[in-house]
A and B are shown apart, each in its own frame.
Chain A
Amino acid sequence: MYEGGIYRTNYKEIDMENTSQVPVTVLTGFLGAGKTTLLNRILTEQHGRKYAVIVNEFGEQGIDNDLVVDADEEVFEMNNGCICCTVRGDLIRILSGLMKRADKLDAIIVETTGLADPAPVAQTFFVDQDVADRTKLDAIVTVADAVHLSSQLVDHHEAEEQIAFADVILLNKVELVEDNDIVKVNDRIRKINPFAKIIKTTRCDAPLDEIVGLNAFSLDRVLDIEPDFLESDHDHEHDDDVTSLSFVSDSPLDMDKFQDWFGNLLRTKGQDILRSKGILNFKGEEERYVFQGVHMLMDASPMGPWPKGKNRSSRVVFIGRDLDNMNLKEGFENCKSA
């Protein structure tokens, strides 16, 4: 139905009823934030579960698991007309290899290097059909160092991207920071990403069921979005800061208008839109439509009828750069059915 990048329906998943998809958790975060600590907690505390861990060969060492695979973070451009579409070539190769194993894996964890951009990892799960058929992106978990995050956000756009892409953020080492500084760094995260769950930790001591097995990339989880926006404060923002916006409409949308607007938006501005999500009420449609996007790629599907007695309101959310110059509000308003 939509244009703009690649449109993937979920018809394959219905076909694949005999093949269970292995969940993949992506761990991002700067060097020293505590990724390896978290990884070893997941591996040692979840007894009896079989994990494969994909680590960078230059990453931190000391991972306590039978099945550790070295990866080299080869980012490949896709030659598919999608200008910003990059994927992790090594991840496609490794996941395809792991899916040939005789013993079934309970989950796969991909640890990225400190300065990695999470987009190619996430896009791999949208672009490669074999990867999408046999595995599913469970969540992007970012470990942030409460002491250093503020300065890292200033110095490295990768730090911003890791926060923007995250479904869960562990704000780690809070014991080393004054309370009012924790509030400040928490607010800074919220401004970039109002949807991620923030867990404040010491030595990554978060409950593991809030980190793995979340299904955060599943379309029906889009229905859960409750953005936690701070009071708007545009005073000291730079043009290249990552911010977020959300719009709600109680009057039904016109499907054709929305497709035109949204397809064009992803095609032309997808490079700056890091993540997008939405629930849509189209005029004349009984079902709710949901979508979830990463840059120019997205996944969309009808998701059952609206709950009885509940407001049929459409909501879209965007995380990205330069959102103020995309006329998002106007564009969304124009999609309302006449």
Chain B
Amino acid sequence: MNADLEKLQETNKTELERRGSIFNIGAPATEAVTTRDQIAVGFGDGTVRFFQSGSDPKTVKAHKGVVLSMTNYEDHVLTGGDDGRFLKISSDGNIEEIFNFGSKWVDCVASHKDTKVCSSGKTVYIWTKNKDKPQTLEHQSTVAGLAFDNKGKRLAVSRYGGVTVWKLNNNKWTASNYTWKGSHGTVTFSPDTKYIVTAMQENQIHGWRINDKADLAMRGYPSKIKSFTWVGDTPYLVTSGSSDAVCWPFDGKEGPMGRKPIVVANGGKELATFVKALNGEKAVFTGFTDGSVLLAEIDESKKPIMIRSSTGAEVSTIAISSDNSQILIGDMKGSILLSSLWADN
């Protein structure tokens, strides 16, 4: 390579790219989750790779097709694949098949303490400690999102027409329906568990206040919202789907009702595709369609910092290590940046 060009590329790199490692896996990164001391990433070639600073990733050949969903479970990860398998995987390569659904995809997974959950088609399957047979929860349409509240007592299941919130009482799950016309995807509980929010097939997110089922419609996006994250003590629900990270305040009695969101991390003509909170800070990482990532405080007067420069492939996942020291960024072409967040690390 031309020395000048090399120098130019080097200077165009961000600080985190210069001190981090870049891995080209060659398959889209679909999901990333943080385990105790590693970051596990699922890929479109069916592998799960465990990343740790200072060493090469450990590769586990998990699924035949795509790793569609992943969550952490004790020191392991749980994955769902388009090969119909629901797996428990450890970083030393040990794979335990929890269930095989055959030709049906395992679209969503969730966990809370020792409870393992997945969905395939319209059914949610729940395995609790020491029980071989799962409990099943049926829905009218295909399950598109799963989320536990922070106590593990409620499980939100998004689907066409709204969300079913299942509540656990004396080992029995009872359903409560939150209805809003349209198709609902990813779902999340607010940290105080007062709200549930979904990303819709339409370019909007929808929320409900849990106790009175009051609706919250958050619209105005130019594209579908694929990612959201809770940030800070307010807290803000920060979403992708626009040229900025859109931050909705969920404080007070009414949350974002009748209020405007704060917008930070402007990506110009690029749209935000993935957002991830920086734990303990009022700040968010925002990944864009061109592969670039910005770190921004939830403050419109502050300038964002460029964390990763453009790669030409949209950012599909971001994870932060459990000790807040490392960041991992993955994109749809399978390029992974693993870097320390702080200069003195």
A contacts, CB < 8 Å to B: 18, 67-70, 72, 74, 76-80, 87, 89-90, 92-94, 97-98, 100-103, 128-130
Name A's interface SS: mixed
B residues near A92, Cβ cutoff 8 Å: 201
Q: How far is the CA of A130 from the CA of B199 in the complex (A)?
A: 15
B residues near A98, Cβ cutoff 8 Å: 66
| A-B pairs, 3 with minimum CB distance | A102-B27, A79-B182, A102-B45
> How far in angstroms is the closest Cβ of chain A from B310?
12
Q: Are B202 and A78 in contact (CB-based, < 8 A)?
A: yes
Q: List 7 A-B contacts (CB under 8 A).
A: A72-B142, A74-B141, A78-B202, A93-B144, A100-B44, A100-B332, A102-B44
A residues near B182, Cβ cutoff 8 Å: 76-79
B residues near A76, Cβ cutoff 8 Å: 160, 182-183, 201
B107 on interface, CB distance cutoff 8 Å = yes
B residues near A130, Cβ cutoff 8 Å: 224
Residue on A with the closest CB to B121?
A72
Q: How many A-B residue pairs have CB under 8 A?
A: 70
Q: A72-B121, A80-B202, A100-B332 are in contact. List 20 more A-B contacts (CB 8 A).
A: A67-B65, A68-B103, A72-B142, A74-B141, A74-B142, A76-B201, A78-B182, A78-B201, A79-B200, A87-B201, A89-B141, A94-B105, A97-B105, A100-B28, A100-B30, A100-B68, A101-B45, A102-B334, A128-B201, A129-B224
B residues near A18, Cβ cutoff 8 Å: 312
> How far in angstroms is the closest Cβ of chain B from A44?
20
Q: How far is the CA of A96 from the CA of B225 in the complex (A)?
A: 14
Q: Are B142 and A90 in contact (CB-based, < 8 A)?
A: yes
The verdict on A89 contacting B44 (CB below 8 Å), with A72-B121, A97-B105, A101-B65 known, is no
Q: How far is the CA of A67 from the CA of B105 in the complex (A)?
A: 12
Q: Which residues in chain B, 52-67, are within 8 Å of chain A measured between CB atoms?
A: 65-66
Q: How far is the CA of A5 from the CA of B45 in the complex (A)?
A: 38
Residue on A with the closest CB to B29?
A100
Q: Which residues in chain B, 75-124, are within 8 Å of chain A measured between CB atoms?
A: 82, 103-105, 107, 121
The verdict on A97 contacting B142 (CB below 8 Å), with A78-B202, A79-B202, A102-B26 known, is no
Residue on A with the closest CB to B30?
A100
Q: Which residues in chain B, 124-150, are within 8 Å of chain A measured between CB atoms?
A: 141-142, 144
B residues near A67, Cβ cutoff 8 Å: 65
Q: How far is the CA of A162 from the CA of B142 in the complex (A)?
A: 26
B residues near A94, Cβ cutoff 8 Å: 105
